[in-house]
Amino acid sequence: MTVPLPPVRPEPSAAGPVVGAYRLSGRIGTGEHGDVFLAVHVDTGEPVAVKRLRMPAGDAQRRADIARRFVGEVEATRRLQHPDIVRLLDAGSDDAGPWLAMELLAGRSLERYTHASRLLPEPVVLGVAARVARALAYAHEHGVVHRDLKPSNVIVDWASRRVTLTDFGLASGAEAESTRTGLVLGSPAYMAPEQLAGAPAAPGADLYALGVTLFELLVGRRPHESPSLGELLRQVAEQCAPDLRSCRADLPAPLAELVAALLAKNRADRPASAAAVAESLERIIPTIDPAPAGSMSRP
């Protein structure tokens, strides 16, 4: 989970606990993998968001292994320097578990626009998705897989036209633990069939998640949904996703074909790369009636 906030410098709290070089000012969000806190750097006063990974119950050695994997993954992600990827500032682990500090973002997550009554104009959706695909392509070229792409992990600031992909690798420790125990942690509706089967994370899984996200932003629901986790997992593993045009007949056939390819059960049947997906989206955008105020205007 990422909580976007306006970049306003908070007043340091002398009473707040210190994590690494950051003094926490209070919890601002709770997600599947941990809690997010507003914080400031104790020396510079820079406002940041600090996230703590929620650790599973277990013996100390297992928790230490998860913390080590998490910090290693964050360090790899920290080297990513891309305008559409959130900046990770610091990471570490203490007695309470792993933590990371990241830039404080302005804007809203795409989760706000996943309801049928609040859908964005199609060119806006495709424009944002193309930006996300470009960010994924950059990460994949540098050996980093997101693992948990979904609308709530994409922040858009309509005023600055910034699109930011967040929470890279934050599921890594939980993912490793779930593979060991056979549990499913994270966001199964966005997870590729091979991910749910315990395969190592790979770029193809991010492309599947991008397909689910696109479908949801265009239709107002996910391709597979069920109140039962078991039934949801069965659908993802066995059922083909609905054809996009069966839900939205007004959408162009090339877009439906692209989404279907992204949602292919077999990883080999998905597009070759995130860069190829971005190129396809950019070709489709001009074929759709433009949004009234431009493809990245505030809806």
Token representation of residue 71: 């910090």
Which one of 148, 157, 206, 250 is the catalytic residue?
148
Residue 73: partners with Cβ closer than 8 Å, 6 or more residues away: 169, 172, 173
**Is the separation of the CB atoms in 37 and 50 below 8 Å?**
yes
Token representation of residue 273: 């790369």
Alpha-carbon radius of gyration of the chain: 19
Known binding residues: 51
- Residue 167: closest CA among 110, 112, 95: 110
**The dihedral formed by the CA atoms of 111, 222, 202 and 35, expressed in degrees to the nearest 10:** 40
Nearest 5°: the CA angle 288, 292, 296 is 80
**Is the separation of the CB atoms in 21 and 90 below 8 Å?**
yes
Known binding residues for ATP: 51
Give the residue carrying structure tokens 């990460």: 139
Q: How far apart are CA 47 and CA 109, in angstroms?
A: 20
Give the residue carrying structure tokens 């990770």: 88
Element holding 61 (H helix, E strand): helix 60-78
Residue 148: active-site member: yes
- Active site members: 148
